Amino acid sequence: MNGYTFFFQEFLKHPLQIGSVVPSSHFLEQRVVETADVKSARFVVELGPGVGGITKAILKAAGQDFTLLSIDINPNFYGFIKKIKDERLIAHLGNAIDLKEIIAGYELKEPDAVISGIPFSTIGDDCGTKILHSVFDVLKPGGRFVAYQLSSRVISLCKPVMGEGEVVMELLNIPPMKVCCWRKGNGNGNRR
């Protein structure tokens, strides 16, 4: 079964876990990879990888001395990601709220970037805020949080946690997506 068919079937089964009916376009993949500055990163976390389009784009852009920890709550998407053959990839079935514990379990350090395809518009405020706090807590100083989203909800949820972010639209995607980026430090993310 190809990725598009599988992705659509998973959308029909779990519409609140998946933010679109089709996987990301090549243009969105490239915009996300560039926004996260994957080329200069040594460790990136990906939340909600789906069928792995952005996962593969991250691995293609990254150097050899690199680790990608890809976390999905959906066991079927996790199984899809686990089939990607690349020694730099760690596929993990779990919840993004437990990000700190997951990273510690693999004895990894602070990530340079966290990339999220989690549809914040379909999860509750409490869950979304907990995920964002988890992301902020694990990012290294100057690290980037990049979320690609259909709605603007992540922007309002993220503001009290990470401050103001930058938003660009990727129109060459179905549907067009917002690519949002926050950096830890630089005057933002001064919570608690």
pTM for this entry: 0.86
- For the chain, list the domains and their CATH numbers: 3-183 (3.40.50.150)
pLDDT in tens, 33-70: 999 999 999 999 999 998 899 999 999 999 999 999 99
The percent of residues above 70 in pLDDT, for the chain, comes to 84
pLDDT in tens, 142-164: 999 999 998 999 999 999 999 99
Confidence check: pLDDT of 191 > 70: no
Residue 66's CB: how many other CB atoms inside 10 A? 19
Q: Minimal CA–CA distance to 20: which of 118, 134, 162, 128?
A: 118
What pLDDT band is residue 170 in, cutting at 50, 70 and 90?
very high
Instruction: Give the pLDDT of residue 47.
Output: 98
177 strand-pairing partners: 170
CA distance 192 to 117: 26
Instruction: Give the pLDDT of residue 23.
Output: 67
Alpha helices by DSSP H, 62-124: 75-82, 99-105
Say which residue, 192 or 24, is predicted with more confidence.
Answer: 24
The percent of residues above 90 in pLDDT, for the chain, comes to 77
